[in-house]
């Protein structure tokens, strides 16, 4: 499964990174980025949790 951060919506709160740092990391402009091409099964639960805690719903998956 692939996750994406809509950078135009991200406010840089960092909660996704706090929940799942192996998938989400903040860049130098305080915008979240997905740091893995495709999320493996062992990271899926935390990746979804990171998506769900985003206060502005900037993270989507397909």
* Domain assignment of residue 7, given as a range: 3-61
**Residue 37: per-residue pLDDT:** 87
Averaged pLDDT for residues 44-54:
98
Give the count of domains, the chain. 1
Instruction: Return the sign of the alpha-carbon dihedral for residues 24, 45, 38, 11.
Output: negative
**Residue 12: per-residue pLDDT:** 96
CATH number, domain at 36? 3.30.70.20
Instruction: Let me know if 40 is exposed, middle or buried by CB neighbors in 10 A (0-12, 13-18, 19+).
Output: exposed
* pTM score of the predicted model: 0.93
Q: Which pLDDT tens digit goes with each residue over 5-48?
A: 999 999 999 999 999 999 999 999 999 999 998 999 999 999 99
């Amino acid at each position: 499964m692939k996750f994406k951060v809509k950078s135009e919506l991200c406010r840089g709160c960092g909660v996704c990174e706090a929940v799942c740092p192996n998938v989400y990391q903040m860049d130098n402009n305080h915008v979240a980025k997905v740091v893995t091409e495709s999320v493996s099964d062992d990271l899926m639960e935390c990746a979804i949790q990171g998506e769900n805690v985003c206060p502005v719903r900037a993270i989507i998956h397909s």
